[in-house]
Chain A
Amino acid sequence: MKKFGVESIVGIFIIAGLLCLAYISIYLGKINLFGTGNNTYQVKAVFSSVTGLKEDTDIKIAGVSVGKVTNITLNNYEAVVTMKIRNDIKLQDDCIASINTMGLLGDAYVEISPGGSDVTIQPGGMIRETEPPLDLKKLIGNFAFGKVE
C-alpha cells in the first residue's frame, strides 16, 4: 500500500482552504455564481425624495423580500427608482410604494403595499402611488415647535 504522502496532505489542505473560501463567499457573502436567470421584471417609481435609499437594497411586500433596487436617477428634480421584481409577484396598478427604515435608525428599503385593482403593472411599467421616507428630524421639529394640532 502506498504511503499517505506529503502531496495528499497538501492536497487536503488546499481543498479545505478553498472550501472555506467557497463557504464564506457564497453562503456569507451572497456572491451569485449561478445567476438569478431571467426571472425578474422591471418597474419604475417616482419619489419626491429617496433619502437614505441605496442601490441593491431590498423591496418588500409585507416584510418579505420580493426584489431589489437596481438604479436611482434624478429626472425633473424627482428621484426615479428602477426596481427588479420577481416574476411570480404581480403588482396591482393601484399599489403604493413607500420608503421605510428597518427600526428607527436602520437601513432604508422600499415597501410595497398591495392594492385592490384587477389590472396588474406590466414589465417596464410605473408604480403611480409613492410615499417619500418619513423625515424623523422634521417630525421631531414639528412636535417641538408646536406645529402639531
Chain B
Amino acid sequence: MSPILTLFRIIGAFVIFVIGETGRMGIFLAEVVFLIPFPPYLFGRVIKQINFIGVKTTLVILLTGTFTGMVLALQIYFTLSEFGAESRLGPIVALALIKELGPVICALMVTGRAGSALAAEIGIMRITEQIDALDTMALNPYKYLIIPNLIAGIISLPLLNFIFVFVGVWGGYAVGVGLMGLSSGTYFGSIRDFVDSADILEGLYKSLSFGILITWISCYKGYFTGYGAEGVSKSTTQAVVMSSVTILIWDYFLTSILVA
C-alpha cells in the first residue's frame, strides 16, 4: 500500500479510537450515575474510600498547601514592593489559592496519590477475574467498586480544597507578616475587602467537578484494563496522565464559564 494511504489510515484509526473512547467513557459514567439512586447503598464502602482518597491525602495537602502559600507570598511580595503595593499581598495570595491553585493542586495531588492506586486496584481485580466473581455472586461491580469511589471523590475533593486554602493563607501569612514585616491587620483586612462568596463558590464548583473527573477516569481506565501486568501498568499510567491533562483543560473552560 502506498505510504500516503497508510498515513490516512493511521489518522483515521486514531480519530475513530478517540471518538469511540469518549463514547465508552460517557456510557460508563451514564450507567454508573443511573445506578446511584437504587439500593443496595454501601455506606461502609463509601467511608472506606473517603478514608483512602481524602484522609490519606491530607498530609500531602497540608505540606503542599503551606509551601504553595509561602512561595506565592514570597514571589508576589517582591513584585508588589516595586510598586509600593505590599498591602495587596493578602488578596492576591488568597484569591489565587481559593480560585485556582487550591482546586487544581489538590486535584493533581489526589490524582497522583489515589487516582493511580484506584486504576491499579480495579485493573488487578479485572485481570484476576475478581470483577467476574462479583458478577457471579449477583453483586453489581458498579455498585460495589465504582459508585463508592465516585461519591468519595465528590465529598473528599472540596474538603481537601478547603484545608489547602486554609493552610495556604496561613503560609502566606507566615512569609508576608512573619518574614517580610507586613502588618497582620493589612494582610487579613485586605483579604476581607477583596474575597467574595462568588470566589469561594468558584473554588467549590471546581473541586466538585475535579472529584468527579478523577474518579471517573481512574475507575474507567482500571475497569476496562488490558491483559496481564502490562495492561494494568498501561492503564494506570493512562489514568494519571489523562486525569492531569483533563483537569487543567477543564479548569480553563470552567473558569471562562464562571468568570463570564
- Contact partner of A16 (CB less than 8 A), chosen from B163, B165, B196, B197, is B163
Cβ–Cβ contact B200 & A18, under 8 A = no
B98 within 8 A of A: yes
Complex Cα–Cα for A10 and B53 (A): 10
Inter-chain contacts of B199 with A (CB < 8 A): 29
What residues make up the interface of B, taking CB atoms closer than 8 Å to A?
47-48, 50-51, 54-55, 58, 94, 98, 155, 158-160, 162-163, 165-166, 169, 188, 191-192, 195-197, 199-200
A7, A9, A13, A23: which has the most chain B beta carbons within 10 Å?
Answer: A13
Q: Can you report 30 residue pairs joining A to B where beta carbons are below 8 Å apart?
A: A6-B48, A6-B51, A9-B51, A10-B51, A10-B54, A10-B55, A13-B50, A13-B55, A13-B159, A14-B50, A14-B159, A17-B54, A17-B158, A17-B159, A17-B163, A18-B159, A20-B162, A20-B163, A21-B158, A21-B159, A21-B200, A23-B166, A24-B165, A28-B94, A28-B188, A28-B192, A29-B192, A30-B192, A31-B197, A31-B200
The interface residues of chain B lying within 8 Å CB-to-CB of A120 are none
Question: Looking across the interface, which residue of chain B has its beta carbon closest to that of A11?
Answer: B47
Q: Let me know if B50 and A29 touch, CB within 8 A.
A: no
Complex partner residue of A29 from B47, B158, B163, B196, CB under 8 angstroms:
B196
A24 to B170, CA, bound (A): 11
Docked Cα-Cα span, A29 to B165, in Å, equals 12
Closest-by-CB residue of A relative to B204 is: A21
CA distance A16 to B62 in the complex (A): 12
Q: Which residues of B contact A16 (CB under 8 A)?
A: 58, 159, 163
B50 touches A24 (CB 8 A): no
Closest to B170 in A: A23
Chain A residues lying within 8 Å of B94, measured Cβ to Cβ, are 28
A23 (CB) vs chain B CBs: closest residue: B166
Is A25 part of the binding interface, using a Cβ–Cβ cutoff of 8 Å? yes
CA distance A110 to B58 in the complex (A): 45
Complexed CA–CA distance, A31 and B204 (Å): 15
Shortest CB-to-CB span from A55 to chain B, Å, is: 13
| Chain A hits for B166, CB < 8 A | 20, 23-24
> Cβ of B162 and Cβ of A17 under 8 Å apart?
yes
A interface residue numbers (CB < 8 A to B): 6-7, 9-10, 13-14, 16-18, 20-21, 23-25, 27-31
The A interface is mostly helix, strand or loop, or mixed, namely helix
Residues of A within 8 A of B51 (CB): 6, 9-10, 13
Report how far A59 CA is from B191 CA in the complex, Å. Answer: 19
Q: Are B197 and A10 in contact (CB under 8 A)?
A: no
Min CB–CB distance B36 → chain A (angstroms): 20
Contacts of A23 in B (CB 8 A): 166
A7 to B199, CA, bound (A): 32
Q: A11 to chain B: closest CB distance in Å?
A: 9
In the complex the two chains form, is B155's CB within 8 Å of A25's CB?
Answer: no
Given contact pairs A27-B192, A29-B196, enumerate 8 new A-B contacts (beta carbons under 8 Å).
A7-B47, A10-B47, A13-B58, A17-B162, A20-B162, A20-B165, A24-B200, A29-B195
